[in-house]
């Protein structure tokens, strides 16, 4: 029914391929391509995992954005690594559960602030994130605890087809999100709320519980990403989540989900995440300084979003 | 062929056609409208009325044929104004700012004063006694007030004076007294040399103001004669549906007349009561608390936390944009939203069952589309409304709450939906029905008349007459203004 170039995720993937080609050609081609691909898939996975949660929230319509993702990542990583304290076996499961439960708790707090105190989501999640960050600082106290060896090996490993384990995990979770958004009642209801919350309520959609579940899901994804990122990078750090504040929103928007709500796009998240990593590597291989690099990244994001929204306006 | 004087006409259509892909929305229409004429335009939903209007107002270009404005370069210079059925005011702007959206000569210092002057002059002229202020935000006004502002903007003085005003269902949200003010103004405007194209599904209004009537069917103009040459029945026959005027009481009402003393299954805080299988009307002037009472009742019967596969009540929206339509979705998804719990197993939606329900209701309620997967916004207003009806009726809810759902729906569709409501009531469903139209209230077994947010009268069976309802709608000693 739909031509492939009209799919909302198409341009994100085109951009990702173009950025890959541009970087690869500079790095003299050959074996460098595989290394670049592995790096892009690994770092892209973290963006994908946070982006999926953020996408659910953004789909609920204007004003809905979770800005507590970085603080949640830090808190979940700090506490779970502290609990595991480098030990393996059953402690790994306990650590993972801790990270996920912190996500659940954060999601509930976020939702309670939005619902009970009627604070706009952007302000509620941003101010609550100071609370989460302070908790992380208080429990961390400058310690840098190493993750269990098994987890460090897993997150840096490439067990199947030479593709990073993290990418496989992110892919599996992506499939789950695709099913939620396209086949499940929950996704249908999120989309309804995103288009018109009043009409959704009048059509029998339980708006409160769907909203709560969405914020909890987003925070759980943040907790999981924080856990994996800490294991990957050899320990939790207080600023480890900082770049995912904008990253999670950028990959959602570049991936073709509508900022106006109601319309989400799962494949685009991957295109957006790979593109965002590759564009930075490309600018790096041109040998540009940090300032120029940040500036160019910003300009490119704005350009992509402008092109994408202009295209929608004509439809 | 046409009775308008071509030489002095405001707008002339010469064999104009408009196609959207395979659908021929307008098929070789010849029409001219001259000064002083009030043209009544009638036809069923999807007959091509809106497309015709969009050609005249310059929104669409014709695929074939031509549209010309004698003596003027384009529709703007010709003084063509249009008041849409869907509501085109910007809700986040004030009344006077909305005027500036269409009148671009309002610039520079003091444009606000000039704009307020123009729009208030128009409001005072058309709706004397209105209580609208120029600095009110549109979003804070009732639907009726918004429609009044839209009409006033259409008639307001501007850089190019209004020579032809197109009114598409202008009275759909207005109560009888305000609608009468509008009719008076249209006659005055036409007597002063202005032209009006008036689209309405209320044939009484058409006969009230129109000097000429054009009947449209399937994109063609099938009759174009002076209004005096038509009878009401003749007009309905020309449109292609048979109006069914006599009303049968529902089985629930008959049973009670025969002595059935079954008790009420619901009672709202305002005192509206209903028995099983009863059709209960909420009448009175628009904006006297009927819609709020229904919304409160619906919200109290549904949960913000739990979806239900057997909801206690369902809601049919009248204000489609605000309360009903999911604009991103297909017709099918819009239709199945309320019944989603019945289509879900293990949290996943059964797409085959969803498609079955979609095509079943497309047939039962006659949604005019080649594919239920098309976007809901591709439908005409009346067909969107049918989809919202089907959304409610596709559930198993015992109580159906309807908030003036027939706005902008043609008489043929209305008759079909009335039949469906009676059929569902006979099967034991209870209907709570707010309507501003007398014809619809007559379909009810029992009527509660609202005034100032409270019930002023309860009428049953033969007591339900226009006189009784009007008497209960107005306070004695209070003027209608």
Report yes or no: A122 and A65 within 8 Å, Cβ to Cβ: yes
Task: Please indicate, yes or no, if residue B1 is contained in any of the structural domains.
Answer: no
Q: Does residue A192 sit at the B interface (CB-CB below 8 Å)?
A: yes
The total of structural domains in chain B comes to 2
Could A195 and B329 be called an inter-chain contact, meaning their C-beta atoms sit closer than 8 Å? yes
Report, as an integer, the average pLDDT of B322-339: 88
Q: Which residues pair with B224 in a beta bridge?
A: B214
Report, as an integer, the average pLDDT of B166-183: 86
The answer on B394 and B366 residing in a single domain is: yes
Of A244, A258, A218, nearest to A124 by C-alpha is A218
Q: How confident is the model at residue B453 (pLDDT cuts 50, 70, 90)?
A: confident
Q: Does residue B348 sit at the A interface (CB-CB below 8 Å)?
A: yes
Measured between CB atoms, which of A186, A199, A200 is closest to B347?
A186
The answer on B124 and B156 residing in a single domain is: yes
Of B375, B121, B103, B425, nearest to B256 by C-alpha is B425
Sign of CA dihedral B455, B461, B466, B467: negative
Task: Please indicate, yes or no, if residue B362 is contained in any of the structural domains.
Answer: yes
d(CA B38, CA B49): 16
Top pLDDT among A208 and A11 is at: A208
| Structural domain of B117 | 11-239
Task: Please indicate, yes or no, if residue A273 is contained in any of the structural domains.
Answer: yes
Report, as an integer, the average pLDDT of A14-41: 75
At B375, give phi and psi (nearest 5°).
Answer: -60, 145
Report yes or no: A84 and A305 within 8 Å, Cβ to Cβ: no
Could B344 and A185 be called an inter-chain contact, meaning their C-beta atoms sit closer than 8 Å? yes
Q: How confident is the model at residue B255 (pLDDT cuts 50, 70, 90)?
A: low
What pLDDT is stored for residue B477 in this prediction?
Answer: 39
Cα nearest neighbour of B402 on chain A: A202
Sign of CA dihedral B177, B183, B185, B187: negative
At A181, give phi and psi (nearest 5°).
Answer: -80, -30
Instruction: Give A205's contacts in chain B (Cβ within 8 Å).
Output: 307, 337
Task: Please indicate, yes or no, if residue A3 is contained in any of the structural domains.
Answer: no
Element containing residue A195 per DSSP (H, E): helix A185-195
Q: Does residue B56 sit at the A interface (CB-CB below 8 Å)?
A: no
Q: Is the pLDDT of residue A72 over 90?
A: yes
Measured between CB atoms, which of B304, B322, B340 is closest to A198?
B322
Q: How many CB atoms lie within 10 A of CB A117?
A: 8
Boundary (domain end) residue, out of B213, B239, B265: B239
Report, as an integer, the average pLDDT of B431-441: 83
Task: Please indicate, yes or no, if residue A240 is contained in any of the structural domains.
Answer: yes
Q: Does residue B139 sit at the A interface (CB-CB below 8 Å)?
A: no
Q: Is the pLDDT of residue B120 over 80?
A: yes
The answer on B271 and B122 residing in a single domain is: no
Top pLDDT among B472 and B135 is at: B135
Q: Over the Cα atoms of chain A, what is R_g? A: 19
ipTM over 0.85: no
What pLDDT is stored for residue B240 in this prediction?
Answer: 64
Cα nearest neighbour of A189 on chain B: B337
Instruction: Give A188's contacts in chain B (Cβ within 8 Å).
Output: 333, 337, 340, 349
| Neighbouring C-alpha atoms within 13 Å toward the C-beta of B221 | 24
Name which of A111, A199, A315 to mutate to probe chain B: the one with the most chain B Cβ atoms within 10 A of its Cβ: A199
Buried b (16+ CB within 10 A) or exposed e, A31-59: eebeebbeebbbbbbbbbbbbbbbbbbbb
Measured between CB atoms, which of B322, B329, B347 is closest to A185?
B347
Report yes or no: B173 and B143 within 8 Å, Cβ to Cβ: yes
Å between B334 CA and nearest CA of chain A: 9
d(CA A67, CA A42): 23
Task: Please indicate, yes or no, if residue A2 is contained in any of the structural domains.
Answer: no
Q: How many CB atoms lie within 10 A of CB B374?
A: 14
d(CA B397, CA B432): 13
Q: What are the tens digits of pLDDT across the range B48-85?
A: 888 888 888 888 888 888 888 888 888 888 888 888 76
The total of structural domains in chain A comes to 1
| Structural domain of A162 | 8-23+30-314
d(CA B103, CA A12): 41
Q: How many CB atoms lie within 10 A of CB B341?
A: 16
Q: Give the domain CATH number at A173.
A: 1.10.3470
Name which of B337, B387, B397 to mutate to probe chain A: the one with the most chain A Cβ atoms within 10 A of its Cβ: B337
Measured between CB atoms, which of A184, A198, A200 is closest to B349?
A184
Collapse the DSSP code of A267 into the 3-class scheme (helix H, G, I; strand E, B; otherwise coil) and give the result: helix
Q: What are the tens digits of pLDDT across the range A154-192?
A: 888 887 787 888 899 999 999 999 999 888 889 999 999
What pLDDT is stored for residue A104 in this prediction?
Answer: 93
Q: Does residue B298 sit at the A interface (CB-CB below 8 Å)?
A: yes
Task: Please indicate, yes or no, if residue A1 is contained in any of the structural domains.
Answer: no
Collapse the DSSP code of A23 into the 3-class scheme (helix H, G, I; strand E, B; otherwise coil) and give the result: helix
The answer on B300 and B196 residing in a single domain is: no
What pLDDT is stored for residue B3 in this prediction?
Answer: 43
Task: Please indicate, yes or no, if residue B481 is contained in any of the structural domains.
Answer: no
d(CA B365, CA B289): 30
What pLDDT is stored for residue B475 in this prediction?
Answer: 58
The answer on B256 and B230 residing in a single domain is: no
Task: Please indicate, yes or no, if residue B2 is contained in any of the structural domains.
Answer: no
Buried b (16+ CB within 10 A) or exposed e, B266-299: bebebebebbbbbbbbbbbbbbbbbbebbbebbe
Task: Please indicate, yes or no, if residue B465 is contained in any of the structural domains.
Answer: yes
Could A199 and B323 be called an inter-chain contact, meaning their C-beta atoms sit closer than 8 Å? yes
3-state secondary structure A135-171: HHHHHHCCCCCCCCHHHHHHHHCCCECCECHHHHHHH
Å between A187 CA and nearest CA of chain B: 9
Could A204 and B311 be called an inter-chain contact, meaning their C-beta atoms sit closer than 8 Å? yes
Out of A76-90, A282-296, B183-197, B252-266, pick the least confident. Answer: B252-266
Report yes or no: B277 and B421 within 8 Å, Cβ to Cβ: no
Query: What is this structure's pTM?
Result: 0.71
Q: Does residue B405 sit at the A interface (CB-CB below 8 Å)?
A: no
Å between B381 CA and nearest CA of chain A: 17
Report yes or no: A106 and A75 within 8 Å, Cβ to Cβ: yes
d(CA B167, CA B208): 15
Report yes or no: A212 and A111 within 8 Å, Cβ to Cβ: yes
| Neighbouring C-alpha atoms within 13 Å toward the C-beta of B124 | 9
Instruction: Give A202's contacts in chain B (Cβ within 8 Å).
Output: 295, 298, 315, 317, 323-324
Report, as an integer, the average pLDDT of B164-185: 87
Of A111, A112, A105, A106, nearest to A129 by C-alpha is A106
Note the residue count of chain B: 481
Task: Please indicate, yes or no, if residue A37 is contained in any of the structural domains.
Answer: yes
Q: How confident is the model at residue A30 (pLDDT cuts 50, 70, 90)?
A: low
Cα nearest neighbour of B340 on chain A: A185
Top pLDDT among B439 and B326 is at: B326
In the block, tokens 């009275």 appear at: B171
Measured between CB atoms, which of A188, A192, A263 is closest to B349?
A188
Report yes or no: A240 and A226 within 8 Å, Cβ to Cβ: yes
Task: Please indicate, yes or no, if residue A221 is contained in any of the structural domains.
Answer: yes
The answer on B447 and B376 residing in a single domain is: yes
Q: Give the domain CATH number at B42.
A: 3.40.50.300
Chain centroid, CA A188 distance in Å = 21
Task: Please indicate, yes or no, if residue B367 is contained in any of the structural domains.
Answer: yes
The answer on B437 and B308 residing in a single domain is: yes
Top pLDDT among A114 and B287 is at: A114
Report in angstroms the alpha-carbon separations of B151 from B53, B101, B177, B178. Answer: 16, 14, 15, 12
Beta-carbon contacts below 8 Å between A and B: 89
Å between A74 CA and nearest CA of chain B: 31
Report yes or no: B155 and B190 within 8 Å, Cβ to Cβ: no
Å between A7 CA and nearest CA of chain B: 15
Instruction: Give B319's contacts in chain A (Cβ within 8 Å).
Output: none
d(CA B195, CA B202): 20
Pairing between β-strand B80-83 and β-strand B11-20 as defined by DSSP bridges: unpaired
Pairing between β-strand B212-217 and β-strand B220-226 as defined by DSSP bridges: antiparallel
Could A199 and B333 be called an inter-chain contact, meaning their C-beta atoms sit closer than 8 Å? no
Could B306 and A206 be called an inter-chain contact, meaning their C-beta atoms sit closer than 8 Å? yes
The answer on B297 and B213 residing in a single domain is: no
Q: Does residue A214 sit at the B interface (CB-CB below 8 Å)?
A: no
The answer on B295 and B155 residing in a single domain is: no
Q: Which of residues 148-187 of A touch B (CB under 8 A)?
A: 179, 183-186
Top pLDDT among B465 and A32 is at: B465
The answer on B261 and B218 residing in a single domain is: no
3-state secondary structure chain B: CCCCCCCCCCEEEEEEEEEECCEEEEEEEEEEECCCCEEEEECCCCCCHHHHHHHHCCCCCCCEEEEECCCCCCCCCCCEEEECCCCCCCCCCEHHHHHHHHCCCCCCCCHHHHHHHHHHHHHHHHCCCCCCCCCCEHHHCCHHHHHHHHHHHHHCCCCCCCCEEEEECCCCCCCHHHHHHHHHHHHHHHHCCCEEEEECCCHHHHHHHCCEEEEEECCEEEEEEEHHHCCHHHHHHHHCCCCCCCCCCCHHHHHHHCCCCCCCCEECCCCCEECCCCEEEEECCCCCCHHHHHHHHHHHHCCCCCCCCCCCEEEECCCHHHHCCCCCCEHHHHHHCCCHHHHEECCEECHHHHHHHHHHHHHHHCCCCCCCCCEHHHCCHHHHHHHHHHHHHCCCCCEEEEECCCCCCCHHHHHHHHHHHHHHHHCCCEEEEECCCHHHHCCCCEEEEEECCEEEEEEEHHHCCHHHHHHHHCCCCCCCC
Report yes or no: A125 and A233 within 8 Å, Cβ to Cβ: no
Which stretch, A146-150, B22-26, B244-248, has highest mean pLDDT? A146-150
| Neighbouring C-alpha atoms within 13 Å toward the C-beta of A132 | 36
Task: Please indicate, yes or no, if residue B140 is contained in any of the structural domains.
Answer: yes
DSSP class of residue A63 equals: T
Collapse the DSSP code of A184 into the 3-class scheme (helix H, G, I; strand E, B; otherwise coil) and give the result: strand
The answer on B370 and B234 residing in a single domain is: no
Report, as an integer, the average pLDDT of B202-207: 82
The answer on B105 and B39 residing in a single domain is: yes
Sign of CA dihedral A114, A117, A120, A122: negative
Q: How confident is the model at residue A222 (pLDDT cuts 50, 70, 90)?
A: very high
At B15, give phi and psi (nearest 5°).
Answer: 55, 40
Task: Please indicate, yes or no, if residue B5 is contained in any of the structural domains.
Answer: no
Boundary (domain end) residue, out of B182, B215, B239: B239
For chain A, report the end-to-end CA distance as a whole number of angstroms.
15
What pLDDT is stored for residue B258 in this prediction?
Answer: 58
Q: Over the Cα atoms of chain B, what is R_g? A: 23
């Amino acid at each position: 029914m739909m031509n492939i170039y009209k799919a909302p995720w198409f341009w994100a993937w085109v951009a990702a391929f173009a950025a890959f080609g541009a970087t690869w050609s500079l790095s003299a081609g050959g074996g460098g391509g595989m290394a670049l691909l592995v790096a892009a898939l690994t770092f892209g996975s973290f963006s994908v995992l946070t982006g999926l949660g953020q996408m659910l929230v953004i789909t609920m319509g204007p004003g809905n954005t979770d800005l507590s993702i970085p603080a949640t990542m830090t808190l979940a990583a700090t506490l779970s690594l502290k609990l595991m304290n480098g030990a393996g076996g059953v402690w790994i499961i306990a650590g993972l559960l801790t990270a996920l439960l912190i996500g659940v708790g954060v999601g509930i707090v976020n939702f309670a602030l939005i619902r009970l105190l009627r604070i706009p989501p952007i302000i509620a999640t941003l101010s609550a994130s100071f609370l989460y960050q302070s908790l992380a600082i208080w429990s961390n106290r400058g310690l840098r605890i190493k993750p269990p060896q098994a987890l460090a090996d897993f997150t840096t490993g490439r067990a199947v087809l030479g593709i990073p384990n993290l990418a496989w995990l992110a892919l599996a979770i992506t499939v789950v999100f695709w099913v939620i958004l396209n086949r499940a009642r929950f996704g249908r209801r999120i989309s309804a709320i995103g288009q018109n919350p009043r009409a959704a309520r009048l059509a029998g959609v339980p708006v409160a519980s769907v909203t709560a579940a969405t914020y909890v899901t987003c925070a759980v994804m943040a907790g999981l990403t924080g856990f994996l990122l800490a294991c990957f990078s050899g320990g939790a750090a207080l600023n480890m989540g900082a770049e995912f504040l904008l990253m999670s929103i950028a990959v959602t928007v570049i991936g073709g989900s509508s900022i106006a709500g109601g319309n989400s796009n799962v494949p685009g998240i991957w295109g957006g995440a790979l593109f965002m990593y590759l564009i930075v590597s490309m600018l790096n291989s041109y040998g540009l300084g940090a300032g120029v690099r940040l500036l160019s990244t910003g300009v490119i994001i704005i350009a992509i979003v402008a092109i994408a929204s202009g295209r929608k306006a004509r439809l | 062929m046409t009775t308008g004087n071509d030489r002095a006409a405001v707008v002339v259509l010469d064999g104009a056609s408009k196609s959207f892909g395979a659908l021929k929305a307008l098929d070789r229409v010849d029409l001219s409208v001259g000064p002083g004429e009030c043209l009544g335009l009638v036809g069923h939903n999807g007959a091509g009325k809106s497309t015709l209007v969009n050609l005249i107002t310059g929104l669409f270009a014709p695929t074939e044929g031509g549209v010309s404005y004698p003596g003027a370069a384009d529709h703007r210079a010709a003084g063509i104004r249009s008041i849409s059925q869907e509501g085109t005011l910007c809700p986040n702007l004030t009344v006077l700012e909305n005027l500036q959206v269409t009148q671009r000569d309002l610039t520079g210092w003091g444009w606000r004063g000039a704009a307020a002057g123009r729009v208030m002059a128009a409001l005072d002229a058309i709706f004397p006694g209105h209580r609208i202020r120029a600095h009110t935000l549109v979003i804070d006004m009732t639907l009726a007030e918004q429609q009044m502002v839209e009409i006033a903007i259409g008639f307001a003085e501007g850089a190019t004076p209004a020579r032809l005003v197109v009114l598409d269902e202008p009275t759909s949200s207005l109560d009888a007294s305000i609608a009468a003010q509008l009719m008076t103004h249209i006659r005055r405007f036409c007597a002063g040399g202005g032209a009006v194209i008036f689209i309405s599904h209320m044939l009484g209004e058409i006969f009230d103001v129109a000097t000429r009537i054009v009947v449209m069917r399937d994109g063609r103009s099938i009759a174009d004669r002076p209004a005096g040459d038509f009878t009401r029945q003749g007009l309905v026959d020309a449109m292609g549906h048979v109006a069914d005027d006599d009303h049968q009481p529902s089985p629930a009402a008959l049973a009670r007349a025969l002595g059935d003393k079954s008790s009420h299954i619901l009672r709202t805080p305002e005192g509206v009561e209903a028995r099983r299988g009863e059709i209960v009307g909420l009448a009175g002037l628009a904006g006297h608390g009927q819609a709020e009472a229904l919304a409160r009742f619906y919200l109290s019967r549904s949960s913000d936390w739990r979806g239900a596969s057997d909801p206690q009540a369902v809601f049919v929206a009248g204000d489609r944009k605000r309360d009903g339509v999911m604009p991103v979705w297909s017709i099918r998804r819009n239709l199945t939203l309320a019944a989603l719990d019945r289509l879900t197993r293990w949290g996943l939606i059964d797409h085959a069952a969803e498609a079955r329900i979609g095509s079943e209701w497309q047939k039962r309620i006659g949604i005019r589309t080649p594919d239920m997967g098309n976007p809901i916004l591709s439908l005409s207003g009346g067909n969107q409304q049918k989809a919202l009806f089907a959304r409610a009726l596709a559930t198993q809810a015992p109580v159906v709450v309807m908030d003036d759902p027939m706005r902008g729906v043609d008489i043929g569709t209305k008759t079909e939906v009335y039949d469906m409501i009676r059929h569902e009531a006979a099967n034991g469903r209870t209907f709570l029905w707010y309507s501003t139209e007398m014809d619809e209230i007559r379909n009810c077994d029992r009527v509660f008349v609202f005034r100032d947010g409270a019930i002023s009268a309860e009428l049953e069976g033969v007591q339900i007459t226009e006189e009784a309802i009007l008497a209960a709608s107005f306070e004695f000693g209070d003027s209608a203004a």
